Amino acid sequence: MSLVSCGGCRKEISEDYNFCPYCGSEVSRAEEPVQEQPTQAVAGEYIVCALCGDETPAGNQTCNGCGSVLEGKKILRETPVLPEKKPVKEVKVQKPAQKQAKAKVKVKEPVKTKPKSGGEISGQKVMLIFGGIIALALIIIFATSSDEATAPVVPQTQQGTSGVDMNLIQRINTLEAQVNANPDNHSLVLEFGHTLMDAGFYDRAIQTYKKYLQVHPSEPDVIVDMGVCYFNLQDYATADSLMRSAVKINPRHQIAHLNLGVVNMNWGKMDVAKEWLKKAVDLNPSSEQGIRAKSLLESH
């Protein structure tokens, strides 16, 4: 009979045992180098299992054959037993409550020396871009609502364009050369003034309008245009005076009435502004200028 060493209590037990008879641990076997055991005679008491009839050393509490608690008669064996020369096996005990946890292996990530093709945007950059878009949208909304409430209307003598671009600058240069070559061409002078105003060159536009009005002093549209230039320069007194003179020339000039309301509203004269806005509505409540004047009255 070959013996193995229990990994729990380190006692030698039969290799046929599935459970250690001394500590009850479940056994698993792993081969170890062969250890020669000396040949010697062994004699001792054995208990015959009442259930299976197997013989188990008297010191054991459970049967080697069936694992039941030993109850039976004891016998004494006098014949010497010579153990076979077999390797002593190490018994590894693994109790249910003491299972070994698998070690976690840390995997190192490779060091990135270049971004992926196409570029990557980090979470922080995304948040910054997103925040910038929101801020820009709020600025545009505020500016739009503010302009709609307080900006004067430009008469139909010109078609206003927003912003300055290279085409507009080129047009200004072309018109200036034409006006210098043809100073008596009043239509060119007026177009030059409108283009300067569209580009935001209000001082130059005012000088050009004055030159035109010296020859055509009774055109209320041009007077209102010049008043809008003064308004954009925040010279509200001059803007008010010019637009009043336009109303004297044409008492039904609805744009002049509306602009007088806007000028005085920005000037801080709310009572005067409302009077001009009411007059603008009375002139034509269904027109674009009449609808806008009514909206300003309702919102202020």
Q: Which CATH number fits domain 136-299: 3.40.50.880, 3.40.50.720, 1.25.40.10, 3.90.650.10?
A: 1.25.40.10
Strands (E), 17-161: 27-30, 44-48, 55-57, 74-77, 89-93
* Residue 129, CA atoms < 13 Å, CB-side half-sphere: 6
pLDDT in tens, the chain (300 residues): 677 777 777 777 777 777 777 777 776 665 544 454 444 444 567 778 777 777 878 778 788 777 777 776 666 655 444 445 444 444 443 333 433 333 333 333 333 223 333 333 344 443 554 455 554 444 433 333 344 445 676 654 454 444 457 899 999 999 999 999 999 999 999 999 999 999 999 999 999 999 999 999 999 999 999 999 999 999 999 999 999 999 999 999 999 999 999 999 999 999 999 999 999 999 999 999 999 999 999 998
pLDDT the model gives residue 43:
54
Q: Which amino acid is at 296?
A: L
Strands (E), 2-111: 3-5, 12-14, 27-30, 44-48, 55-57, 74-77, 89-93
Q: Where do the structural domains in the chain lie, given as residue ranges? A: 136-299
Give the integer Cα–Cα distance in Å for 219 and 83.
Answer: 133
Largest CA distance in the chain: 150
Under a CB-based contact definition with an 8 Å cutoff, are residues 180 and 193 in contact? no
Distance of CA 95 to the CA centre of its chain: 51
Give the integer Cα–Cα distance in Å for 199 and 184.
Answer: 23
